[in-house]
Amino acid sequence: MRKAWSWSAASLALGLALSGPVPAATILERSVEIDIRPDGSVLERERLAVRLDTPADYSAWSSYPIFLDQNRTLEELSASATSPEGKVVKVGRKDQDTVDFTSEGELHSSRQAKVVSFPVVPPGSVLRVDSTVREEPYFPAGAIFLGSSNPVEKLRVEVRGAGADWRWRIDGSRDGLTVQESPGSVVITAANLPRREPPDLAPAEAGVHPVLRYGWRGAATWQDVGRWYEGLLRDVPRAAEPVRRRARELAASAPSSRDRLAALLAFAAKQVRYVAVEVGIGGYRPAPPEKVMERRWGDCKDKALLLIDLLREAGVEAYPALILLAEDERIDPEFPSHDQFNHLIVAVAADGLAAPGDPVSEGLLFVDPTDETGSISWLHPGVQDQYALVVRGDRSGLVRTPLRPALEETSLQVELKIEPDGSGRGGVRLDLEGDLGSSFQRLAAASRPEEMEQGVRGVLGRLLPGAALSQVRWAQAGSDVPAFTISAQIQLPGLLPAGGLASSFSLPSGANTPSTGLLQDRTEPLVLTPGTSLVSWRITLPDGACVPKPDEQTVENDLGAFRQTVTLDGKVLKLERSLDLRQRWIDPSRFAAFKELALADQRSAKRRIRLECPAG
């Protein structure tokens, strides 16, 4: 179950990494039986038999975790290893450890793992684990990943006892799966499933898809999920006087509702530090806002609920919005359930408050008090273009947050004069806006000047390999959208060979799109980082130098646009290159359009600039 609720998407990755060893070995049998009982509890029986195919497999599988929590208890566990000769060695209690663990970014959690340590056995041996876990679900729904990074010879997944008003859905391809449905149950079987090896830039969960989602006792709509969450919030003491007083104080000098939102968001984002403590249902239910304000720490849901209460006191209508914070993952909007989100942000009624360009969708402005560098105008890309479940009574439902690629901009400007030895000397400036601006702001705040200088030089070094840098400077910029500027004096040796009389030269700025080789035989979507990349070179050529032929290339389609111009203005060679990527998730049907953009970008970056030399 995913209930990270933590700021960092890395925590989720860690959670998944714990769920099974990497490649090799063959899963001979994986059988999962989900027994939904009349009292609402769920018995989860899992049988796993893994054959070790190579000596490396033992270390990958020798410690096998079974995940537990306050609402997930281990009822039965047996494990054994069978050697190729048929000798069976049972795993005793001393080889079963219990560890409490946290994900990255969490200070504490109630999550546990019962870790089975197998005896040493050679390749050809089979490791078996049979476990029964009893779960008291917080919400009547669950999910089972059906894919694996190991080949699976036999798979059987059964969900039963769900009663008449149940629902299920397979998210992802059904290739190789046999599905049998009967009233209140479903059985999925498969044989000889190959291991899943997602290509680069694939969705995060591609390696474990497809996923079977199931739910019972109705709860078939997002509105129901919203009601469930409101039920949790009802138990949280609200509207405490200290919170209301604080809201009034903070809003006192803010004349407009937008100003009030800005002041209260800044308070929740910057004056309450992010600390994640996830204990049982507390992984979903926020702490009382009064407490959060008093202790000045909390996780995303604590900060969000505090902001909502502050806003309400200041007369601004605001709602919790459950969302998946991930740049390479999406929820399944077709299957309403509680466990597809890992983050809570705030949806504010935009009317009379939002400005053009703000992240507004369906009349709601989304703000994220977890992000210290966020603002009314800018949302972290991980919560852009995602379905958010806005929790507001009967009006609860999914709203897709807007994608704002225009606010994610990288601009490299180089201005050089060619020296007699052919080197270019001048200045470089790199402007980073949006997520990169935010990252560099954080880095600068956390680093000593000498560390920051090393980092900044490293960035410029990657963009302009071989350049000699001096007077390296950096500064935080931007107010609404986080921005960061780096500048330096630069010398690029051998830029224009033969003192400007060469017939061609190349600029070090590379392409900004991934190789089109990634599209070969690809069935998974391509997940990109939308945004704008600008490159501008101004090169003052020496007298008598060869000059460029003016050139212009433009490619534009619904995924984005690429444009490059080469011109001569007096003695100044100007090269302007821009790439706009407007979509994050490129489905196979759009690969051709992506290829068109990528080829234009990559070929332009690869081609040398051709010069025409004066006669003689």
Partner 1 sequence: MILPRKKLLLAPLLLALALGAVLPFRAAAAGFPEITAEERALTSVPNQPNAPAVVLFKKGEFSMAGVLGNNDASILSVRIRRKILTDEGKRYGEVAVHHSKWARLQNLKARTVLPDNRVVPVAKEAIFRRKTSETGNTFVTAIAFPAVEVGAILDYSYEIRIDSIFFLEPWYFQEDVPTLYSEMVCEMPEGIVTSSWRRDPMKVGIEQEVKQTVSGILVKVWGKNLPAVPSEPYSLPFADLASSFMLIPTAIQDGYGGVTKLFKDWASTCDIFGKAYDKALRKSKAADARARELAKAGGGLREQAKAIHRFVRDEIETKDVPGVALAEGANVDAVLAARQGDYAEKALLLQAMLGAVGIKAQPVWVADRSGGAVDMQLASPWWFDSLVVAAEIDGQRVYLDPSDRTLAFGNLAPGLEGTPALLYDRKKPQPVILPTTRFEDHQRRAKVELGLDGEGRLAGRGTLELTGFHAWLRLDPQQEAAKVAESWKTWLGNAFEGYDVSDVQVKQEVDGQRLEVAWAMTQQEDEVLGDEVTLRPSLPFGPVQQPFTASRRLSPVLLAFADRDELELTLRWPEGWKPEALPKPLAHEGSVTEIAASVEVDEAARTLKYRRRMDIEQKFLQESRQYEEIQNLYTLTERHDAQGLVLVRR
DSSP letter assigned to residue 191: E
Q: Alpha-carbon distance 418 to 265, whole Å?
A: 50
**Binding test (CB under 8 A) with partner 1, winner from 100, 165, 421, 587:** 100
x/- binding map, residues 338-377, to partner 1, per CB under 8 A?
----------------------------------x-----
C-alpha 555: how far from its chain's center?
A: 29
Nearest distance in Å: CB 498, partner 1: 10
Minimum CB distance to partner 1 smaller for 198 or for 359 = 198
Question: By the 8 A CB rule, do 385 and 314 touch?
Answer: no
Determine, following the binding rule CB under 8 A, whether residue 473 of this chain makes contact with partner 1: no
Helix axes 241-251, 257-266, angle to 10 degrees: 120
Q: Alpha-carbon distance 194 to 196, whole Å?
A: 6
Question: By the 8 A CB rule, do 384 and 401 touch?
Answer: yes
Determine, following the binding rule CB under 8 A, whether residue 592 of this chain makes contact with partner 1: no
Minimum CB distance to partner 1 smaller for 248 or for 462 = 462
Nearest distance in Å: CB 228, partner 1: 26
x/- binding map, residues 309-328, to partner 1, per CB under 8 A?
--------------------
Nearest distance in Å: CB 7, partner 1: 13
DSSP alpha helix (H) spans, 267-385: 289-295, 300-313
Question: Between the CA of residue 325 and those of 11, 284, 383, what are the distances in Å?
Answer: 11, 15, 5
Determine, following the binding rule CB under 8 A, whether residue 5 of this chain makes contact with partner 1: no
Q: Alpha-carbon distance 192 to 489, whole Å?
A: 60
x/- binding map, residues 163-192, to partner 1, per CB under 8 A?
------------------------------
> Which among 132-140, 150-158, 329-337, 455-463 is the span making contact with partner 1, rule CB under 8 A?
455-463
Number of residues that bind partner 1 (CB under 8 A): 66
Nearest distance in Å: CB 82, partner 1: 15
x/- binding map, residues 40-79, to partner 1, per CB under 8 A?
-------------xxxx-xx--x-----------------
Tokens of 248: 């009034």
**Binding test (CB under 8 A) with partner 1, winner from 71, 102, 553, 557:** 102
Determine, following the binding rule CB under 8 A, whether residue 494 of this chain makes contact with partner 1: yes
- HSE, CB side, 13 Å, CA atoms: give it for residue 359: 31
Residue 441's nearest CA partner among 427, 457, 428, 452 is: 452
**Binding test (CB under 8 A) with partner 1, winner from 38, 39, 85, 94:** 94
**Binding test (CB under 8 A) with partner 1, winner from 28, 275, 281, 547:** 275
Determine, following the binding rule CB under 8 A, whether residue 554 of this chain makes contact with partner 1: no
Residue 377, SS3? coil
Tokens of 341: 């989100």
Residue 508, SS3? coil
Determine, following the binding rule CB under 8 A, whether residue 458 of this chain makes contact with partner 1: yes
205-209 LR contacts (CB < 8 Å, sep 24+): 205/16, 205/145, 205/329, 206/524, 207/147, 207/149, 208/16, 208/19, 208/145, 208/146, 208/147, 208/148, 208/149, 209/145, 209/146, 209/147, 209/171, 209/172, 209/173
Determine, following the binding rule CB under 8 A, whether residue 448 of this chain makes contact with partner 1: yes
**Binding test (CB under 8 A) with partner 1, winner from 78, 506, 523, 554:** 506
Residue 415's nearest CA partner among 532, 512, 495, 498 is: 495
Question: By the 8 A CB rule, do 65 and 153 touch?
Answer: no
Minimum CB distance to partner 1 smaller for 399 or for 416 = 416
**Binding test (CB under 8 A) with partner 1, winner from 29, 136, 453, 576:** 453
- Chain residues in the site for partner 1 (CB under 8 A): 23-24, 53-56, 58-59, 62, 94, 97-102, 107-109, 119-120, 270-271, 273, 275, 277, 294-297, 372, 442, 445-451, 453-454, 457-458, 461-462, 465-466, 468, 493-494, 497, 502-504, 506, 508, 515-517, 595, 599, 602-603, 606-608
